[in-house]
Amino acid sequence: MQLRKSYVIIFVFMVFYSCSNNFDKEIYNIVINSKIKPLPPPPPLSIGDTISTISKNVIDSLNKVPLKIAVNPFLLDFKGDYIKLFKNINDGRVNYSTSNVKVNKEDINGRESLKFTVLEEDVLDTTTIKKYDGILFLSSIKYNSKKNKALVIIGYTTGKLSSSTYLYLLENNADVWEITNIKRLSVS
């Protein structure tokens, strides 16, 4: 009987852990796909007062462009009281730093055209930047107590003077995670 209880406890733990891990994969997929996009082609020359726009077909085709993305091996982490951020991410300053927690390679997920390589070291030299189309920085994901809201920081750089960092607030509505708010933390 005691053995059965142990199996039940292990099974419940595995189910809970795998659900949380699936949430992480889904959230990373959403924020990575929203942040990492190749540069669109320049618009065609305008004639007179005509304003040209890029068609939806062109935008959709950009998502198919293959990109090699390096992932910084260490997660960013929130400093201070991040719980207040669930109420309104536009209030106050969001502090974050690099933690000593390593990226879980299995959680990094994005559309098919993105190929991820987790770096061995936290190195941002010109040689590393030139090998990849961009370098991605991710934070750990913070959930509220109900597990229906999540916070994540994502940074992306394509060069020494081309980077940005954003805080994403996501909500789970009807088992679908959606971005509900974004706050820019830094840009260069």
Q: Which one has a higher pLDDT value, 149 or 37?
A: 149
Contact (Cβ atoms closer than 8 angstroms) between residue 138 and residue 165: no
Is 45 a domain residue?
no
pLDDT attached to residue 152:
93
Q: Pull the structure tokens for residue 180.
A: 């509900």
Judge whether residue 2 has pLDDT over 70.
no
Is 24 a domain residue?
yes
Instruction: Report the share of the chain in percent with pLDDT over 70.
Output: 76
| Cα-based angle 180, 79, 77 (whole degrees, multiple of 5) | 70
pLDDT attached to residue 156:
92
CA distance 182 to 159: 23
CA dist 178 → 37, 86, 123, 129, 156 (Å): 18, 14, 32, 31, 20
Judge whether residue 96 has pLDDT over 90.
no
CA distance 151 to 85: 8
Q: Pull the structure tokens for residue 29.
A: 């997929």
Is 49 a domain residue?
no
Is 15 a domain residue?
yes
Average confidence (pLDDT) over 63-89: 82
Average confidence (pLDDT) over 38-50: 64
Is 140 a domain residue?
yes
Q: Domain range holding 8?
A: 2-39+54-187
CA 117 to chain centroid = 15
pLDDT attached to residue 178:
94
Indicate the average pLDDT of the chain.
79
Q: Pull the structure tokens for residue 128.
A: 């590393």
Whether pTM > 0.85 for this model: the answer is: no
The total number of structural domains that make up the chain = 1
CA dist 17 → 4, 10, 57, 140, 165 (Å): 20, 10, 39, 15, 28
Is 127 a domain residue?
yes
Judge whether residue 46 has pLDDT over 90.
no
Is 111 a domain residue?
yes
Is 170 a domain residue?
yes
**Is 68 in a helix, a strand, or coil?**
strand
Residue 17 has a CB neighbour count (10 Å cut-off) of 10
Contact (Cβ atoms closer than 8 angstroms) between residue 187 and residue 181: no
Report the range of poorest mean pLDDT among 17-31, 37-51, 59-73, 91-105.
37-51
The C-alpha R_g of the chain, in whole angstroms, comes to: 20
Instruction: Report the share of the chain in percent with pLDDT over 90.
Output: 28
- Which among 138, 49, 127 has a CA at the least distance from the CA of 102? 138
- Which among 79, 33, 49 has a CA at the least distance from the CA of 179? 33
